[in-house]
């Protein structure tokens, strides 16, 4: 999976409500660090997307099912991490879900099983099985 492209999407989501919380920023930087993306690259992503109303989603057609799940899991977790969920964030997540081959309803399904605290993880295998019914056929 291209984690740099995923980081770009996460940065866009973090900025979409025009309110970047410290929790959202920390979450993005923690994911970047876990995937060997230098802080300066993340700084550049934030600077590049600040004030931009243009949302660009990467080409993601070649991702495995596991990679698609991780993408969805990470964006839903980021949406919830500051304990404030805005309609703009939900719509962004739904657009990405559609691009990944899922119905928009997958966002609410995942949201019910993902905690706002990234240190508390839900049952990932159970969540993976739940989202299957939301695949576009």
Q: If we measure between CA atoms, which residue out of 77, 60, 61 comes closest to residue 127?
A: 77
The larger pLDDT score, comparing residue 123 to residue 40, is at 40
Contacts of 61 (CB under 8 A, 6+ apart): none
pLDDT tens column, 70-123: 889 999 998 999 888 989 999 989 999 998 999 999 999 999 988 766 666 768
Please report, for the chain, the start and end positions of each structural domain, with discontinuous segments joined by +: 3-134
Integer angstrom CA distances of residue 99 from 20, 39, 53, 68, 111: 25, 28, 19, 10, 18
Q: What is the DSSP letter of 88?
A: H
CB half-sphere exposure, 55, CA atoms < 13 A? 16
pLDDT category of residue 26 using cuts at 50, 70 and 90: very high
Mean pLDDT taken over the chain: 86
**Which option is the CATH number for 3-134: 3.30.70, 2.40.50, 1.20.1050, 1.10.3680?**
1.10.3680
- pTM for this model (two decimals): 0.77
């Amino acid at each position: 999976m291209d984690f740099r492209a995923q980081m770009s999407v996460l940065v866009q989501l973090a900025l979409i409500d025009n309110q970047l919380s410290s929790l959202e920023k920390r979450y993005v930087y923690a994911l970047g660090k876990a995937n060997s993306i230098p802080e300066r690259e993340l700084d550049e992503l934030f600077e590049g997307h600040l004030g931009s109303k243009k949302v660009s989603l990467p080409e993601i057609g070649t991702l495995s099912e596991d990679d698609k799940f991780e993408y969805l899991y990470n964006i839903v977790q980021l949406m919830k991490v500051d304990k404030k969920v805005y309609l703009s964030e939900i719509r962004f997540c739904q657009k990405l879900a559609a691009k990944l081959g899922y119905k928009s309803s997958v966002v609410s399904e995942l949201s019910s099983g993902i905690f706002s605290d990234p240190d508390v993880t839900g049952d990932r295998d159970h969540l993976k099985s739940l989202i299957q019914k939301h695949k576009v056929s």
